[in-house]
Amino acid sequence: MAQVDDKTEKDATTHFGYRDVAVEEKARLVHGVFDSVAGKYDLMNDLMSMGVHRLWKRHFIAISNIQPGQRVLDLAGGTGDIAALMSKRVGSHGSVVLSDINEAMLAVGRRRMEDRGIVGNIEYSLANAEKLPFADGEFDAVTIAFGLRNVTDQMAALREMHRVLKPGGRAMILEFSKVELEGLKKIYDTYSFGILPKLGKLVADDEDSYRYLAESIRKHPGQDELADMMVEAGFTNVTYRNLTGGVVAIHSGHHG
């Protein structure tokens, strides 16, 4: 979240990994990261999660209760993994909006969806999660997977997710979180900071982006803090569940 020194907008700062940067600078820096990794985004997720992200995503949608005929929004949709899973659930009478703030990522997502033959119930939107170009109450469900930690103003994004949901609609967040198993923490830190950036350099010739992504996980709010933020944004029935000892968590909240 943004920190404001001396209460002036001029001095507003936030984190970009472990660096403090001007609020207006973070969006540009994050944009550069995803411009760099767009072509290897799926590989990036495989490296960061050792391939387990595919199981996490399937479980995420399996418990979403998304129904045939619904209209759903996937924020920071990347290469379309979540949108593809939701497309199967909403069926031919429903629709999925795959959105991302990054043009390169959205282009990769569109190409991947077309390659999979998923075209009939998918729409695309170049959208900033902090200021969504959708009407109030437009969606039955809103999801964001591994994207919220890269948003500069997370509270603004949460409020926008709440705004575009129909009464009774559900928002779900899948995100790296705080590891709660003591025995796993040291292994996870060694992998994140000692191995992952080197793999990024070897595989994608981009050590800095992978180091940022590891750092961004540590700066993201923990499970209870994010749940509190969702309540502050207007959500009710807010819950979360840990996966893989808290390496990731699924947060859920309802409109109304």
For residue 233, what are the contacts with CB-CB under 8 A and spacing of at least 6? 155, 158, 159, 161, 162
pLDDT recorded at residue 211: 81
Task: Tell whether 145 and 91 lie within a shared domain.
Answer: yes
Sign of CA dihedral 113, 171, 210, 35: positive
Q: How many domains does the chain have?
A: 3
Q: How far apart are CA 237 and CA 170, in angstroms?
A: 10
Whether residues 127 and 141 fall in one domain: yes
Interval 74-85 mean pLDDT: 94
Decide if 50 contacts 44 (C-beta within 8 A). no
pTM for this one?
Answer: 0.85
Contact assessment for residue 163 and residue 131, using Cβ atoms and an 8 Å cutoff: no
Higher pLDDT, 2 or 226: 226
Give the model's pLDDT for residue 216: 83
Same domain, 99 and 199: no
Q: Domain check: are 131 and 96 in the same one?
A: yes
Return all residues near 229 (Cβ < 8 A) that are at least 6 apart: 154, 155, 158, 221
User: Where in the sequence is the domain holding 193, given as residue range(s)?
Assistant: 182-212
CA pair distance 201, 250, nearest whole angstrom = 30
